[in-house]
Amino acid sequence: MRPARPRSSLRDRAARVLDANWTGTSTVPSRTLYPHQWSWDSAFIAIGLRHVSPLRAQGELETLLAAQWGDGRIPHIVFNPAVAPDAYFPSPDFWRSSTAGRAAGAPASVQTSGIVQPPVHALAAWLVHRADPGLSRSRDFLARVYPALAAWHRYLLHRRDHGGAGLVSVIHPWEQGMDNSPCWDAPLRRVSPARAFRRADLEHGAAQDRPTDLDYGRYVRLASDYRDAEYADGSGELAAFAVEDPAFNALLAASEHALARIACELGAAGTARHARAERLTAALVRRLWDPEAGMFFCRDLRGGVEGEAGGGLVREYGISGLLPLILPTLPREVGRALVDTACGPHFGVGDLVRMAPSYDLLGPAFDPHRYWRGPAWFNTNWLLEHGLRLHGEHARAGRLRAAMLDVAGASDFAEYVDPRTGAGRGARGFGWTAALTLDLLA
């Protein structure tokens, strides 16, 4: 009898996923569903990749930053010219970045989308540097990425503060990254859906797990209107969809803290950046915190009471509203209340679920299988795990970590999972699931 071969470790399996998704210059989220480079995926991927190859992790971020626009925006997709144009919709000929984006400074050498995704990049750059400071210094990694990251944050803070209250607004659900979250249902209802388009996602993903055709019609309308306006921001008129989101802004504040550390490492002062992160944290609490609910909500700038400035809060419990927990200077009582909400009946962490759902277990729109309307995702759970630790909840964070590792391995690094059972849904061999597994194991 031949001796049994030892089973590969979870670490080896996760590293193999990242190898399989590596294109030579960056990592795709999934070979089938998402065959290009995505912005916040790359940041999370770099955070995990640094444990396997700090050099590749640096390259991942450098490739993304090479596609930055002149106005500072980092596009949400950088297209791989070697991939067939119809492999993903919307394709480069929909976005037409090098022509429609010319005035905003889109690069001529590479095709990209024209919208953005959450700013996880400075945080990723700092963590990647810390993994191998010697290598990083020998390649001037931080000195090279710092100006690009500073321009990125400047773009968001100066060109995207549509509410004028010190927070960034997203102008498309894809920008926030939780595409069909029920938090967007009300603001999206005002958008008249486009009709003529061909979805490529349904060739690889189950229709009942993906956004609906009606959602897609609205995504396409918002993106094509923005493109037709040459990706101009702040024309004076409020965008059809303009929402201040807790996770997007919390990630920006966390990334400002990281930029401050990068500045210090480069011999400059980080004080102004830390102060900006504090201001963002304060604005988050002022604009989006509901003390009675113990929750951060999205603010729909076009919603609220007719004729009143400032919009209205969308009182849907999305996972985004828990993620300000990653902020070190959140007021103590806010942090305590958020932990209670995370562990209470809406999200059930440590009790009703294996991993935190993307949306309220008690919400009428909760669906454990449909994308961001209930399933648990690894990036948001990784952030939550950090947030719990930061607020002294080590035992709870430890249990969540153990569940994530178990579910990641058993689901073959699924894109998302049923939050109650941990059963895998969507793509397998998903980039950030493998990467964040590596980070949790380190």
- Residues recognised as catalytic: 179, 415
Among 22, 40, 241, 347, binds ligand 9WN (CB under 6 A): 40
Q: Which CB, 36 or 129, lies closer to ligand 9WN?
A: 36
Return d(Cα 338, Cα 316) in angstroms, integer. Answer: 15
Q: Which CB, 141 or 382, lies closer to ligand 9WN?
A: 382
Q: Which CB, 132 or 418, lies closer to ligand 9WN?
A: 418
CB of residue 213 vs ligand 9WN: minimum separation in angstroms? 13
Among 38, 69, 126, 289, binds ligand 9WN (CB under 6 A): 38
Residues 195-234 that bind ligand 9WN (CB under 6 A): 201
Indicate whether 248 belongs to the interface with ligand 9WN (CB under 6 A).
no
Indicate whether 29 belongs to the interface with ligand 9WN (CB under 6 A).
yes
The window from 33-41, 135-143, 160-168, 270-278 that contacts ligand 9WN (CB under 6 A) reads 33-41
CB of residue 79 vs ligand 9WN: minimum separation in angstroms? 12
CB of residue 9 vs ligand 9WN: minimum separation in angstroms? 25
CB of residue 312 vs ligand 9WN: minimum separation in angstroms? 25
Among 71, 132, 179, 245, binds ligand 9WN (CB under 6 A): 179
Kindly give the pairing relationship between strand 289-290 and strand 295-296: antiparallel
Among 27, 41, 78, 124, binds ligand 9WN (CB under 6 A): 41
96 contact partners, CB below 8 Å, separation of at least 6: 227
Instruction: Show the site string, 69-108: x = touches ligand 9WN by CB under 6 A, - = not.
Output: -------x--------------------------------
Q: Which CB, 115 or 167, lies closer to ligand 9WN?
A: 115
What sign does the dihedral 25-31-35-37 (CA atoms) show? negative
Q: Which CB, 76 or 401, lies closer to ligand 9WN?
A: 76
Q: Which CB, 215 or 256, lies closer to ligand 9WN?
A: 215
CA-wise closest residue to 419 among 326, 354, 359: 354
CB of residue 248 vs ligand 9WN: minimum separation in angstroms? 12
Indicate whether 34 belongs to the interface with ligand 9WN (CB under 6 A).
yes
Q: Which CB, 89 or 336, lies closer to ligand 9WN?
A: 89
Binding residue count for ligand 9WN, defined by CB under 6 A: 10
Residues 155-174 that bind ligand 9WN (CB under 6 A): 174
Binding stretches for ligand 9WN (CB under 6 A): 29, 34, 38, 40-41, 76, 174, 177, 179, 201
